[in-house]
Amino acid sequence: MRTRGNLITERSGVNYVRDVVEKAGCLLKEINLQHDFGHDATMMLVVDGEVRPREVAVQIKSGVSYISRTTCRLPATASHIHFWAEHDLVTLGVVYDPAENLAWWIDLQTAARQFRVANTKVGATFNFEKRLWNRFDQSDFSSILVPTLLGEAPNVSLERLSTWVMDADIETHDLGVRTIRSRYYREAAAWDCLIKAFKSRPANQLTLNLPIALAKLLGHDDIGYYSNEIPNDIRASAIAEVLTFDVDEIAKLISMLPDDEDFQRPSVSYSLMPLFGQSSESARVLSAIRDSDKFAPSVRQVARGLFEWCQRDPIRWRFWRRDSGKIL
């Protein structure tokens, strides 16, 4: 009697996942084949010996046919996609490469829900990249995946996050920005990293979470202040650097704004007003953008509207000034 050809490969993937999960102190409950309708196992998350009230389902694929040098693939029928999208449990897809003894993960529930928006009755293959943060191994399971599943920021070093922020992959960039903003905002190196990224990367390689962090650094009643949470010398130095933003930086910021926003509360554009009205140079900067053929007409139009607001209501506009030297 011979075993099913791919049984050993399948089991190697399940065993790898079990080893990672259990070495992290969490619990894996394998689902019997007769009850397998799209989940191979579920995980109970345990942090510092405390079982968290969060259970996560896992679908595992194993073998070289699911792996390339830079990507993973996870095929699914229409019924699988419906099952993952509608299930009460968050579902992770894990693809294991026996040759490398490594695996990578994808939020399969979110992928299934997004796919079903336009495709309700067909199957698909979910292709996803091997990124700097989605490796399924013991170290990153504890420091990245578990916090993510619990709604917390990944617990990784600032040095590593800095490489994420500068990565060409926009999702990796955004995760790096959000995690630095959450975990390391008290450190000068964090602000150096964010400011450098904003100044050096083109607009299409940035997400709005970065300028929002800078606006919060400057202070905004709607999105908060870092006034009592960052040492004054670190915050003052970072603010001074942001105040050097000139025509190119402000034009870049304008180009990132949603097309349908109008600078009214509680819009994203309104949240970024400390960056537009930050100094006595704002009117000059905005008029320079308005008058320059270097920038897209849509950018020039927004700059024109902001300049007119500045001229029409200078008292209110001064509310956004951050060049007084006083830390708000």
Contacts of range 252-260, beta carbons closer than 8 Å, 24 or more positions apart: 252/198, 252/202, 252/203, 252/206, 253/211, 254/289, 254/299, 254/302, 254/303, 255/203, 255/295, 255/296, 255/298, 255/299, 256/203, 256/206, 256/208, 256/211, 257/302, 259/298
> If pLDDT is split at 50, 70 and 90, which confidence band does 71 have?
very high
How many CB atoms are closer than 10 A to CB 85?
19
How many CB atoms are closer than 10 A to CB 292?
13
How many CB atoms are closer than 10 A to CB 121?
9
Q: Over the chain, what is the mean pLDDT?
A: 91
**What tens digit of pLDDT does each residue of 1-15 get?**
444 556 667 788 999
The conformation of residue 314, written as its DSSP 8-state character, comes to H
Region 199-205: mean pLDDT is 97
Q: Which two tokens stand for residue 80?
A: 């699988």
Q: Which residue segments constitute the domains of the chain, with CATH numbers given? A: 7-143 (3.40.1350), 201-320 (no CATH)
The answer to whether residue 84 scores a pLDDT higher than 50 is yes
Rounded Cα distance between 312 and 304, Å, is 12
Q: What is the 3-state secondary structure (H, E, C) of 196-246?
A: HHHHHCCHHHCCCHHHHHHHHHHCECCCECCCCCCCHHHHHHHHHHHCCCC
Phi, psi (degrees; rounded to nearest 5) at 125:
-115, 120
The conformation of residue 31, written as its DSSP 8-state character, comes to P
**What tens digit of pLDDT does each residue of 205-251 get?**
999 999 999 999 998 877 776 656 788 899 999 999 999 999 999 99
How many CB atoms are closer than 10 A to CB 161?
25
Interior CA angle at 123 toward 118 and 126, to 5°? 85
**What tens digit of pLDDT does each residue of 286-314 get?**
999 999 999 999 999 999 999 999 999 99
The answer to whether residue 152 scores a pLDDT higher than 90 is yes
Rounded Cα distance between 231 and 134, Å, is 33
72 Cβ contact list (under 8 Å, min separation 6): 66, 95, 104, 106, 127, 128, 129, 130
**What tens digit of pLDDT does each residue of 179-192 get?**
999 999 999 999 99
